[in-house]
Amino acid sequence: PEPRPNESKTAVTTEPDMKLRERLTLGASVLAVLVTLGIVLDLQLDLGMTGHRLLPRHGRVRYGADVDPPRAAYNSFRRKFLERSNSSASGAGSQPGQPAVDPTTSSSSARPDQFLDLREVLLDLGNQDVVVKTYEVDEPNPNLNQLLQLPSRNNLTNLEKFQRGISKHELYGEGDPTVASLLSDMANNKIVKVYQKEGGTQIKLVIDYENKDEALFKPMRFPREQQTLPNHFYFTDFERHNAEIATFHLDKLLGFRRAMPVTGRTLNITTEIYELADDELLKTFFVSPSNNKCFHGKCTYYCDTSHAICGNPDTLEGSFAAFLPSKEMGPRKVWRHPWRRSYHKRRKAQWEQAGNIETNFESRVINKTSFLQSLFSLKPNSKSLRGVKNELKSDYCTLV
């Protein structure tokens, strides 16, 4: 049947109305997009606050006292409403008349410390006062070789000679040539086996040499000039391999000689670790997106892919520390360090809570070992200090 006249008119008039509605909808959508884009540009480039056109956010501009800096209205609102302090002391410290200081505009050029006080001590060793006098030089100081009456052999390695020379008050004697030979062996001898040492919070590798000696390897995590972030706890930071080397040389320079010999060495991850590693360590090797060879091992902290140890591309620097003698050869008792840290975000260590921990600990142990008496005195003998200037150049070169 043919449509009625009224129906045909309605169909004809509805089609232009639909086209007009679509145009209005499309125009409103385009307008909304343009408004949103303008708001984003205004927030990112600060176009609407001060009239400074196209001023980047990272531009560090110093403004006068009579000129409002960028985002002044927002900063005023934030200080007034969003950063209210609950303590009256902090509220009293901020006066409304004082101008706000922008940390980005202050340029502080801190001068490096020249350590003039330490330099003065090293250059004038003869006039230093002795705070606590110890009687170690007057006591007999036998070493392990003398106490155990170990048989002498012609094929003793430098590590075995060093271990036999450990005495009551020190690990090695002043000017002992065995220490230099031991450092050279750890830095140059051929490696035949590598495996991970169990325990500890971070990865450490045991290095077996061709002459049956062993050393403890701590890899380099980041460059020496990289500092610890101020908001990081000390127990969330990586161990630094050069701190081990610095401890040994500083201990020797001060005349204590109670730190194990440590030296540095650069390894080839492919030929000196990967090809010699055991199965457990071998499973953790991979190639990074930068085509560097990496591994992470297994430990309590920082032993995963996100905290891997990588070469450049396969060379890796680290510290090599000598081992103490076995417990069968030199039995010993282990004392927990009285000034150990708590490794907790809120819990304090025992020495931070009790002020007389030194007296309590010393009264329990001092009669059993004279080693701790020297440890508490922390005063080297003057004869050892006179050799600091002669050893400073060579040891400093090894340290850095």
Is 41 annotated as ligand-binding? no
Where are any strands of DSSP class E within the chain? 191-196, 205-209, 214-219, 262-268, 286-287, 293-295, 309-310, 315-322
**Could you give the angle at which helices 388-399 and 116-123 cross, rounded to 10 degrees?**
140
**Could you give the angle at which helices 241-253 and 388-399 cross, rounded to 10 degrees?**
170
The per-residue DSSP string of 147-185 comes to HHTPPP-TT--HHHHHHHT-BSS-SS-TT-HHHHHHHHH
Q: Is the peptide bond before 289 cis (omega within 30 degrees of 0)?
A: no
Task: Supply the DSSP symbol for 127.
Answer: T
Q: In what order do the strands lie in the sheet with 214-219?
A: 191-196, 205-209, 214-219, 315-322, 262-268
Is 391 annotated as ligand-binding? no
Instruction: Please choose, from the candidates 170, 193, 206, 184, the residue with its C-alpha nearest in 3D space to the C-alpha of residue 263.
Output: 184
d(CA 162, CA 160): 5
d(CA 13, CA 332): 104
8 A C-beta contact, residue 269 and residue 316: yes
Is 282 annotated as ligand-binding? no
8 A C-beta contact, residue 377 and residue 134: yes
The per-residue DSSP string of 56-109 comes to -TT------TTSPPTTHHHHHHIIIIIS--S-HHHHHHS-TTSPPPPTTT----
Instruction: Tally Cβ neighbours within 10 Å of residue 319.
Output: 25
Is 322 annotated as ligand-binding? yes
Residue type, 262: V
Is 321 annotated as ligand-binding? yes
d(CA 143, CA 166): 5
Is 32 annotated as ligand-binding? no
Is 114 annotated as ligand-binding? no
Residue positions forming the annotated binding site: 202, 218, 239, 321-324
Residue positions forming the annotated binding site for ATP: 202, 218, 239, 321-324
Residue positions forming the annotated binding site for Mn(2+): 239
